[in-house]
Chain A
């Protein structure tokens, strides 16, 4: 029986706590008497027979939906859309969940005589997946059967010939999605629900849409009113997607949603990385030696070698549930299953929230965690991993640990470089940024060209990363990055500190000398239910 997540009050006997630090590790002693650590739950049990569970979900759908087999017929047009490279994190060991699900969907389609099938990576404005990444997601058999015939493609949100406007919501939000999907008799959406933000109407209304549609909810106003965007019932981001979902449903577009959840088994229960998943006071002498050796080894490696080590890691995380059918009915169950793994009850807010940012986030898989993505991971994702109220009080301080190098992947993140060099050099205010620069970047022809023909995130994407942190930026009194490159941290508008001790001293200028401290021990992922 896996142990649930819990909150540890730090005392003098508490050992140094592990902070992820990009592609490195730090061990930090938190001040006793005023610090606490939130630990994630241990990995939930995996489904014993995932393939059988998938088959059962397809045959016994939730909500107002017939079984998938009953929806398939000869002569129909079927589109299978699936989540892109941003999920799961880290990438999972083969077979990927998407492969398991898609193979069963295709078997049913074949059995029903469906021969017009298209697979689309629902990447919205993310970068196009490479062949290797697509093979990993859908498996070689599916890839080889479809890709050579142009039937397995990356969604192109800048292809005017293959987008279609479905309608507008009652708030005037334009709903535009992939034409092939919209004109299909059935869309089967294959989802991996890593965090509570994922899934539901967001899958189709965001994953298959365009800038014209996305700009209605990927903006500062929406993000400041999503408290948090991980809590769909208090998230304007989700309300907007749900409004768009209603437009899709009312237009007659038929969607069969398949959602899956996975456990927290990021580093495994055995092997060299497994110690990163253990609680520090339970480390054996061997574990301590392993962490020490790993830390020293990483410290002396080149940045390139470190990146290679971490990004080659394939996580053993396993499927904990699968449900299929009508979008909202499915997503309700999915969310409960995500919460079962992630939610940790926490009493009250803190003055200082500390977090060790790992090497990976949704937008740097097989890539570089550039400074903008550091901001987004810390102030977008980690800060928003709450229900109820933020872990840190208004006017409080977030201390993140990450080297934050002034380093970008030019192929994946070309507009990020320009955003960093021009926009952030001018202002870090999300509203000013949105007002003065978004349109220029969103409509830049070179970025469009790179998004469509290479493997570049869309020109507007760095803006969304910054907006993702807008709620935190308006909420916090100060942001400090331990071990961050000073020039890069300065450009972000934050403060760099050499050590956690220095950072806590700096934070005392904002929250006083006896401030309470909470450490978010993530990864593996946890979500604080703050009361």
Chain B
């Protein structure tokens, strides 16, 4: 089968680090990623099935890996070589509908206790919080926090992979592939929005308006009773999407402090320029994860407010004096699991994500798809998405006939409401 494979090759890795610093996405052309013929992965056990990916998205964490910019934190929790791709909509081989077409599924990629054949499951998995599983390097399959980072499972950037049945979510017939490939990143955003400590009427800042940032805005609007939502966006298309998904104010990165001051009406220290805000936003959802964005987050959140780190941060230098002096909470939000909603009910994050994707027609965010053999172009496009007016870029492994059928499905979907209306 054909697949994009990421191998442990130190020299190529070093080259990718250098190239990635010069031009985001350049690591694809020189680094450890290659387009190869490889054997399909074996089924690890009886509850596993083969998938033929239809679409597989390119995530920010994938780009960081390809450019060698991701943290060494991940080294012990991945296994080489691996096929990337964890935002996957696929057909299940052998599971057919009445008309003979295979079941379409979205993959929930976290490889928790159940997928690893570990019993009893850890307390996190028992509580439905798969993202916090403590056994991601143990059990019947090789280490890997998710499909797409595990040698045994393969990943979505291929023509074939394997998955445990517990990882599969059936895609409704009314949902097309473009929408379905947005479910996994949307689940991350839903989890982040619900982890961000957003009280009714809160002023919320969402930093970053790439895929994750935009989805977080949509999720904050749908699943919380936030008051003013301030989006921080660099590029014109991102600004427009942010408004569509419910941001009340959209500002450039160097305009955040003034925007928060206006929105909250707080006083500021500084003679017309702002040295410090006296108060600040109730919550900041940081989808960038850089030193600059986190510094900004800490400077614009109010005392005892919360900064939620959603973007993969890596090794970062931060002045935490403000966090100490203003008793700011700083928490991470990774992956998904089981959520508690405002009314006290619980729901699987993926179920909420399916709901949001359909309601907000999030398939619109897929800006371009590429075949696997054009992976360098695809990676470059994804790495420069904002500046090029794009949001989500994905690999498309479908046959032409499947693509046509899916387009027909999409045209049959009624116009959805905007998330801000809910």
Contact = CB atoms under 8 A, between A and B. Distances in A.
Contact of B266 (A446, A454, A456): A446
Contacts of A409: 272
B259 interface: yes
Contact of B262 (A410, A418, A425, A450): A418
20 contacts: A409-B272, A410-B270, A411-B272, A412-B272, A414-B272, A414-B273, A417-B258, A418-B262, A421-B251, A421-B255, A421-B258, A421-B259, A422-B251, A422-B259, A425-B251, A444-B265, A445-B267, A446-B261, A446-B266, A450-B271
Contacts of B43: none
Given A409-B272, A421-B255, 13 more contacts: A410-B270, A411-B272, A417-B272, A418-B258, A421-B251, A421-B252, A421-B259, A445-B265, A445-B267, A446-B261, A446-B265, A449-B267, A454-B271
Contacts of B267: 445-446, 449
Interface in B234-263: 249-252, 255, 258-259, 261-262
Given A417-B258, A418-B258, A421-B259, A450 B272 contact: yes
Interface in A421-456: 421-422, 425, 440, 444-446, 449-450, 454, 456
A421 B259 CA distance: 8
Interface in B261-297: 261-262, 265-268, 270-273
A478 interface: no
Contacts of A456: 272
Contacts of B268: 446
B92 to A, nearest CB: 47
A454 B268 CA distance: 13
A413 interface: yes
Interface in B46-82: none
Contacts of A449: 267
Interface in A386-413: 409-413
Contacts of A418: 258, 262
B203 to A, nearest CB: 14
Nearest to B277: A446
Contacts of A446: 261, 265-268
Contacts of B270: 410
A63 to B, nearest CB: 43
A377 to B, nearest CB: 21
B254 to A, nearest CB: 9
A324 B34 CA distance: 89
Interface of A: 409-414, 417-418, 421-422, 425, 440, 444-446, 449-450, 454, 456
A410 B251 contact: no
A424 to B, nearest CB: 12
Interface string B111-137: 000000000000000000000000000
Nearest to A457: B272
A339 to B, nearest CB: 39
A410 B257 CA distance: 14
Nearest to B254: A421
A444 B262 contact: yes
A373 to B, nearest CB: 15
A440 to B, nearest CB: 7
Given A421-B255, A422-B249, A422-B251, A411 B261 contact: no
Contacts of A410: 270-273
A422 B262 contact: yes
B296 to A, nearest CB: 15
A497 to B, nearest CB: 21
Interface of B: 249-252, 255, 258-259, 261-262, 265-268, 270-273
B251 A413 contact: no
B30 to A, nearest CB: 35
A412 B271 CA distance: 9
Which has the most chain B C-beta neighbours within 10 Å: A409, A421, A445, A449?
A: A421
Contacts of A421: 251-252, 255, 258-259
B259 A413 contact: no
Most-contacted residue by chain A among B259, B266, B272 (CB, 10 A): B272
Contacts of A417: 258, 272
B351 to A, nearest CB: 36
Contacts of A425: 250-251
4 tightest Cβ-Cβ pairs between the two chains A and B: A410-B272, A414-B272, A410-B273, A411-B272
Nearest to B255: A421
Nearest to B266: A446
B302 to A, nearest CB: 15
A200 B320 CA distance: 58
A71 to B, nearest CB: 42
A419 B261 CA distance: 13
A425 B259 CA distance: 12
Which of A414, A417, A446, A450 is most buried by chain B, counting CB atoms within 10 A of its CB? Answer: A446
A229 B79 CA distance: 76
A411 B249 contact: no
Nearest to A437: B262
Contacts of A412: 272
A422 B267 CA distance: 18
A390 B273 CA distance: 39
B153 to A, nearest CB: 46
Contacts of A413: 272
B249 to A, nearest CB: 6
A411 B270 CA distance: 9
B273 to A, nearest CB: 4
B188 to A, nearest CB: 29
A454 B249 contact: no
Contacts of B266: 446
A243 to B, nearest CB: 34
B255 A411 contact: no
A410 B269 CA distance: 13
B257 to A, nearest CB: 11
A446 B267 CA distance: 5
**Which of A414, A445, A456 has the most C-beta atoms of chain B within 10 angstroms of its own C-beta?**
A414
B48 to A, nearest CB: 52
Contacts of B258: 417-418, 421-422
Given A421-B251, A445-B267, A440 B272 contact: no
A414 B271 CA distance: 8
A456 B270 CA distance: 12
A29 B272 CA distance: 42
A460 to B, nearest CB: 14
Contacts of A445: 265, 267
Contacts of A422: 249, 251, 258-259, 262
Contacts of B262: 418, 422, 440, 444
A440 B265 CA distance: 9
B331 to A, nearest CB: 29
Contacts of B272: 409-414, 417, 450, 454, 456
A175 B267 CA distance: 30
Contacts of A440: 262
A511 to B, nearest CB: 30
Contacts of B273: 410-411, 414
B276 to A, nearest CB: 12
Nearest to A444: B265
Nearest to A440: B262
Residue in A410, A417, A422, A454 with the greatest tally of chain B CB atoms within 10 Å: A422
Contacts of B261: 446
Nearest to B259: A422
Nearest to A426: B249
Given A418-B262, A440-B262, A411 B251 contact: no
A421 B249 CA distance: 10
A456 to B, nearest CB: 6
A446 B251 CA distance: 20
B420 to A, nearest CB: 16
Nearest to B278: A446
A510 to B, nearest CB: 25
